[in-house]
Amino acid sequence: MTADLSILELVLNASVIVKLVMSTLLLASFTSWTMIFSKRSILNKARRDADKFEELFWSAEDLTPLYNKVSSKRDSTNGMEKIFESGFREFARLRKQKTVDADAVLEGSQRAMRVAMNKEIEMIETNLPFLATVGSTSPYIGLFGTVWGIMNSFRALGEVQQATISMVAPGISEALIATAMGLFAAIPAVIAYNRFSNDVERLISRYDIFMEEFASILHRYAHS
């Protein structure tokens, strides 16, 4: 309890610049954790949706009923469903046009799938740059607060004739708190960024493989 109170007193008695640094790091840490929980939920849902749709896709004997089922959903589709819906819609639209040959139909459907996939990738990558920024800059922000606090401590030390460790200890302690807060903000952000980046790459790989497999099926449809 005494240690907690002493740390609280050090924070409250810190200089304006050090307080500003601590506030910035605290806000960055809070925002990071909010994004971490949100991103974890989004990626878990995207993975479950991909598993569910792949099972439906490969068990379907005819893709038209599956497309009708997907396109009639009240909620907007996303992920693998969105890629399938966009590709099949464009395929069906172009195939109705007698002047469009099979290769052009396939190119159009692949283009539609690629656009849909890029939108999905943009969505699942949201907030990752922020986590990377927090992870890379927070230690330096904390270090700035530390340098500033130590500089103030030594400047105050130069104004007295007889210096003791007890005179500079509070200033150095408050400065080191800024470094600790910088690491506290950075470490979870770095871990989360690395983990989420790996999860996103896996999802992108699954989307890309599905798109290629779906394009092969459409190729058989177009030339049948």
Residue 1 lies in a domain: no
Question: Which residues 6+ apart lie within 8 Å of 86 measured at CB?
Answer: 112, 113, 115, 116
Tell me, what DSSP letter sits at residue 99? T
Q: Domains in the chain: how many in total?
A: 1
Predicted local confidence at residue 174, as pLDDT: 74
Give the CB-side neighbour count of residue 197, counting CA atoms within 13 A.
11
Residue 7 lies in a domain: no
Residue 191 token pair? 């871990």
Residue 46 lies in a domain: yes
Number of C-beta neighbours around residue 114 at 10 A: 15
What are the CA-CA distances from residue 57 to residues 9, 172, 184 (Å)?
A: 61, 63, 45
**Average pLDDT by stretches of 10, the chain with 224 residues:** 53 73 91 95 93 92 89 81 93 86 90 94 92 94 85 67 60 78 93 96 94 91 76
At residue 109, φ and ψ (nearest 5 deg) are -70, -40
Predicted local confidence at residue 3, as pLDDT: 44
Residue 24 lies in a domain: yes
Residue 9 lies in a domain: no
**Amino acid of residue 108:** G
Please say whether the beta carbons of 142 and 21 come within 8 A. yes
Residue 147 lies in a domain: yes
Rounded CA-CA distance 179/199 in Å is 30
Rounded CA-CA distance 157/159 in Å is 5
Q: Which residues of 172-209 are buried (b: 16+ CB within 10 A; e: fewer)?
A: bbbbbbbbebbebbbebbbebbeebeebbeebeebbee
Predicted local confidence at residue 57, as pLDDT: 92
Number of C-beta neighbours around residue 142 at 10 A: 26
- Measured at the CA of 34, the angle between CA 183 and CA 128, to 5 degrees, comes to 75
Predicted local confidence at residue 165, as pLDDT: 58
Predicted local confidence at residue 207, as pLDDT: 94
Please say whether the beta carbons of 32 and 188 come within 8 A. yes
The pairs formed by 16-22 with CB atoms below 8 angstroms and a separation of 24 or more are: 17/145, 17/148, 18/145, 18/148, 18/149, 18/174, 18/175, 18/178, 21/141, 21/142, 21/144, 21/145, 21/148, 21/178, 21/181, 22/145, 22/177, 22/178, 22/181
State the residue range of the domain holding 64: 15-222
Residue 201 lies in a domain: yes
